[in-house]
Amino acid sequence: MNNNFQLSVERLDQLPATDIVLDPAVRERYIQVRDTIWGDGEASYARESVHFNTILREAEGGKLQRATHFSIFLAFLDIAINGLSLEPGPRALCYLVGRNRNEGTKDHPKWVGECKVLISGYGELVSRARAGQIKYADNPVLVYESDEFSFSEVGGQKRVDYVCHLPHTGKIIASFIKIVRNDNSIDYAVLYEEDWQRLKDYSNKQNRGRGANELYSSGREGGIDPGFLRAKCIKHAFASYPKVRVGRATIMATDEAEQPISDDIYGIAQTNTGSPGNHDNPQDSFAAPVDTSAGLVIDPAAESSATADDGVF
């Protein structure tokens, strides 16, 4: 790295949040990492720096901009490491989200906002195909009360029998996805109504009883949102698959983060102020702290009803 553009936590802290990705040292590091792993550094930087700053600016109330500048830097570098894009859309591969981490104690909390990259279910499909775990996966199928559906396993072989009856009537009762492995064997993952009801209850619990994610009940007849369920089905499908290695500021939608990538790849100097080491193993809080100026929420501008998520479940 050019010594004229040496990175440090102090240097990042002196920059406005939206200037971090434009800093020459950050640009140089991003391109270097992306070229090393994927080979498209310049083009990726030109595209993703725009997406990244657009999300930072449009986040409700500027909340993502109040994240620690070090976490913003890590999130941007993880876009290069993960090889995905922040381009918005109904099948976006990843998002920027906020997480609150308690640097204090349970009795005397000190909340710090951090910026993270959340890989969506669709981004996870791309990552797992690149990792050689699968050849491809079909789009998740939604099963309505009027359809014919059965799922079975005989001799270790999973089987789905499905007949769609149009027009759809009744509520959604299940969702399934077909996955083709590299050896051409077929795998199926099925999500039933009882499964997402359990996740709904857990979402409410994680929100301290203030209600589950509204997408669990915003669909037909008060059922789950169709796009939301498709994303859940993708996540559920890979719960038992090997973990995928991601950057240290990245959250896989299935909550299967691998061992964090070494600090060396980020090329940032260790200092006594805001030491990068202090950001390992964050204590995530799914409820906003009382002092909201210290916390973040998921960026609503980046998400659509087709892929919106409550973070973990």
Query: If you ran DSSP here, which 8-state letter would residue 244 be given?
Result: B
Residue 253's pLDDT band, with cuts at 50, 70 and 90, is: low
Show the tokens assigned to 35: 């070229």
CA angle 193, 311, 124 (to 5 degrees): 85
d(CA 88, CA 18): 18
pTM over 0.75: no
Which residue matches tokens 């090997």? Answer: 242
Looking at residue 263, its pLDDT comes to: 52
Is the pLDDT assigned to residue 3 strictly greater than 50?
no
Instruction: Please state the rounded mean pLDDT for residues 188-201.
Output: 93
Among 180-189, 258-267, 282-291, the range scoring the smallest mean pLDDT is 282-291
Q: What does DSSP say about strands 134-137 and 111-119: parallel, antiparallel, or unpaired?
A: unpaired
Q: Which of 312, 285, 298, 295 is nearest to 106 (CA)?
A: 285
> Do residues 285 and 195 lie in contact, with contact meaning Cβ atoms separated by under 8 Å?
no
Looking at residue 280, its pLDDT comes to: 39
Distances from the Cα of 204 to the Cαs of 98, 138, 214, 219, in angstroms? Answer: 19, 31, 10, 18
Q: What share of the chain has pLDDT > 70, as a percent?
A: 79
Looking at residue 8, its pLDDT comes to: 87
Listed by start position, the domains of the chain span 3-130+242-302, 134-237
- For residues 73, 46, 14, 1, the Cα torsion angle rounded to the nearest 10 degrees is 70
Instruction: Please state the rounded mean pLDDT for residues 234-242.
Output: 85
Looking at residue 256, its pLDDT comes to: 36
> Do residues 43 and 51 lie in contact, with contact meaning Cβ atoms separated by under 8 Å?
no
- Rounded to a whole number of angstroms, the distance between the first and last alpha carbons of the chain is 40
**Greater pLDDT, 63 or 50:** 50
Among 103-107, 264-268, 298-302, 304-308, the range scoring the smallest mean pLDDT is 298-302
Element (H, E) at 135: strand 134-137
Looking at residue 266, its pLDDT comes to: 62
d(CA 271, CA 269): 6
Looking at residue 81, its pLDDT comes to: 95
Instruction: Please state the rounded mean pLDDT for residues 240-267.
Output: 66
pLDDT, tens digit, for every residue of 101-113? 888 888 888 989 9
Beta-carbon contacts of 205 under 8 Å, excluding residues fewer than 6 positions away, are: none
> Do residues 262 and 81 lie in contact, with contact meaning Cβ atoms separated by under 8 Å?
no
d(CA 76, CA 116): 9
> Do residues 115 and 249 lie in contact, with contact meaning Cβ atoms separated by under 8 Å?
yes
Per the prediction, the chain carries an average pLDDT of 81
Residue 255's pLDDT band, with cuts at 50, 70 and 90, is: low
Looking at residue 14, its pLDDT comes to: 93
Residue 204's pLDDT band, with cuts at 50, 70 and 90, is: confident
Is the pLDDT assigned to residue 153 strictly greater than 90?
yes
Instruction: Please state the rounded mean pLDDT for residues 132-141.
Output: 91
Is the pLDDT assigned to residue 122 strictly greater than 80?
yes
Is the pLDDT assigned to residue 200 strictly greater than 80?
yes
Looking at residue 66, its pLDDT comes to: 92
Q: What share of the chain has pLDDT > 90, as a percent?
A: 47
Residue 224's CB is within 10 A of a number of other CB atoms, namely 25
Show the tokens assigned to 22: 């434009």
Is the pLDDT assigned to residue 267 strictly greater than 50?
yes
pLDDT, tens digit, for every residue of 52-98? 999 999 988 788 999 999 999 999 999 999 999 999 988 899 999 99
pLDDT, tens digit, for every residue of 273-292? 443 444 333 433 323 333 32
Looking at residue 254, its pLDDT comes to: 58
